[in-house]
Amino acid sequence: MSDPVTVAEAALLARDQVEAPWQQALVLIMAPGMSRAALLSRITERIGYAPRFRRVVDPWPVPTWVDDPQFNLAGHVEQVALAPGQRLQDWLATALSVPLPHSHPLWALSLVDGLAGGSQAVVVRIHPALVDGYDHIHLFQELLDEVSEDITEDHTDDWEPTVAARPEFGALLAGLGDPVAAAGRVAAGVVGLVAGGVRTLTVEPRRHYVEAAEVSLDAVAAVRDAYGVTTHDVLVCLATAGLRAWREQQGAPLTDEVALIPLAVTEPEVLASAIGCRVAPSFDRLPVSVDNAADRLVAISTLSRARRDSGVSVPARDLIELAGFAPATIHAVAAGTVGSGRPHTVLVANVPGPEQPRYLGRSRISQVHAVTSTSDAEELTVSITSYHGRVSFSAAAVAPLDQWVGAITAELDQLRELS
């Protein structure tokens, strides 16, 4: 199979630099006992639902997603152990600095041992261009189950790459959207963004720091009900508190930051997509300068009310009830909204997940985190995921996040006291 690289995908691929890789990680914390062999078997069984995870970009004569003729699943899956005293957050910060080779499908999975308490983690890093939420979903949307079950380790991969004909010029234009505009883009060389694996963006090397906090969903719901706002409003308020503390730690002025806050919207023509909605970019100026937690929450609720009243936003319940483990796909699509181009310094992606536990084989998933590396002028990304009665706030930043966890929990406690 093959399909043209769209202009949007080309722009996302071009963000990924050797010196400053751009990628997203999904982190699953689970009970110990998973083996690399079992993980390979489960992926072999279900990777067909996510065909992009076997494809690469063939740049000539036009960039096209094609089956990788040398695809080797084992080469994408490793098992590692944390060093004594090493935190998973610090290990992940280092992993995000390792580029995903464009000569292979743009993903890598690590089965990580040695976590505190004896838990294991599955960390899968992907390039967000792999996932569009329509025909192409995240591999882990299909890998988790609602019930525990044994993984049969004798699954063999009988997949064979398809040698597909090059797309016609007309098909390429169709893949780029509006044919007239696409023709102009092709003439201007937009499709050459990924030709020969050469990126067009120039960036400085960038180090990331990763931190994560977790709070009770019931505590968030109590604040929501007390103030008459939405769960989303409360979560964005907590993320704003983390941003405020991070700025204070750096000695930076507390100015209201423009944040990209992707929003799930419903439109008739996209209801047939894999996630039943479109994830659109939206921008708000977070009230970092406001001193009082309750006042910050009211300000955020006022900003978001207009979108709620428009009737196009998708209720969280609809996202929670999507088939499979949809947060994996939605987080990847939300990361891709950075391509909208509007300047911003912060990304806040809030994705509701299932209320019931999920399993990878017999291993129960206890925590879910998503982490997106920064791009362009971004200095901090926050990925919020609700799952089985808990909410995780996972941040990637260009400076240390020493106050992150304390700021999130303190904000929640203050909101409860003030309510």
Give helix 231-250 / helix 404-418 axis angle, nearest 10°: 130
Residue 89 belongs to a domain:
yes
- Tokens standing for 170? 């007309």
Q: Looking at the structure, tell me whether residues 188 and 214 fall in a common domain.
A: no
User: Could you tell me which residues come within 8 angstroms of residue 22 by beta carbon, excluding any fewer than 6 positions away?
Assistant: 12, 15, 16, 127, 128, 373, 375
Q: Are β-strands 380-387 and 346-352 bridged in parallel, bridged antiparallel, or unpaired?
A: parallel
Query: Residues 52, 190: one domain?
Result: yes
DSSP per-residue string spanning 334-388: HHHGGGG----SEEEEEEE--SS--EETTEEEEEEEEEE---TT--EEEEEEEET
DSSP-derived 3-state class of residue 417 = helix
User: Cα-flanking dihedrals φ and ψ of residue 128, to 5°?
Assistant: -60, -20
Total number of domains constituting the chain: 2
| pLDDT recorded at residue 156 | 74
* 291 Cβ neighbours under 8 A, 6+ residues apart: none
- Let me know whether 142 and 253 are in one domain: no
CATH of the domain at 72: 3.30.559.10
Which residue, among 395, 351, 303, has the nearest Cα to 96 in the 3D structure?
395
Name the one residue in this structure whose structure tokens are 């089985």. 388
Secondary structure (3-state) at 90:
helix
Instruction: Print pLDDT tens along the chain (419 aa).
Output: 678 898 889 989 988 888 889 999 999 999 999 999 999 999 999 999 999 999 999 987 788 999 999 999 999 999 999 999 999 999 999 999 999 999 999 999 999 999 988 999 999 999 999 998 888 999 999 999 999 999 987 777 788 888 766 555 555 555 444 443 443 444 344 444 443 333 444 467 889 999 999 999 999 999 999 999 999 999 999 999 999 999 999 999 999 999 999 988 766 555 556 666 778 888 999 999 999 999 999 999 998 876 655 555 655 565 555 556 889 999 999 999 998 778 999 999 999 999 999 999 999 999 999 999 999 899 999 999 999 999 999 999 999 999 999 999 999 999 999 87
- Whether omega before 61 lies within 30 degrees of 0, making that bond cis, reads yes
Q: Measure the CA–CA gap between 52 and 67, rounded to whole angstroms.
A: 8
Is residue 33 within 8 Å of residue 362, measured between CB atoms?
Answer: yes
Q: 340: burial class by Cβ within 10 Å (0-12, 13-18, 19+)?
A: middle
In the chain, the amino acid numbered 45 is E
| Residues 101 and 221 placed together within one structural domain of the fold | no
Q: Based on the domain organization, do 184 and 245 belong to the same domain?
A: no
* Cα Rg, the chain, nearest whole Å: 21
| Together in a domain, 230 and 277 | yes
Same domain, yes or no: 174 and 268: no
Strand partners for 313: 265
Question: Locate tokens 């009737």: which residue?
Answer: 311
**How far is Cα 335 from Cα 22, in angstroms, rounded to an integer?**
10
220 and 78 in a single domain? The answer is no
Chosen domain end from 172, 197, 222? 197
Find the CATH number of the domain harbouring 331. 3.30.559.30
Which residue segment(s) compose the domain that 21 sits in?
2-197
Q: Is residue 166 part of a domain?
A: yes
Domain boundary among 131, 163, 197: 197
Residue 204 lies in a domain: no
Q: Is 137 found in the same domain as 255?
A: no
Q: Please, which residues bridge with residue 382 across strands?
A: 348, 395
Residue where a domain stops, chosen among 164, 197, 230: 197
In a domain, 22, yes or no: yes
Q: Residue 342 in contact with residue 283, Cβ under 8 Å?
A: yes
409 and 311, same domain (yes or no) = yes
Indicate whether 164 and 63 sit together in one domain.
Answer: yes
Q: Are residues 298 and 413 in the same domain?
A: yes
Q: Which of 376, 373, 385, 383 is nearest to 97 (CA)?
A: 373
Decide: pTM greater than 0.85: yes
pLDDT of residue 265: 75
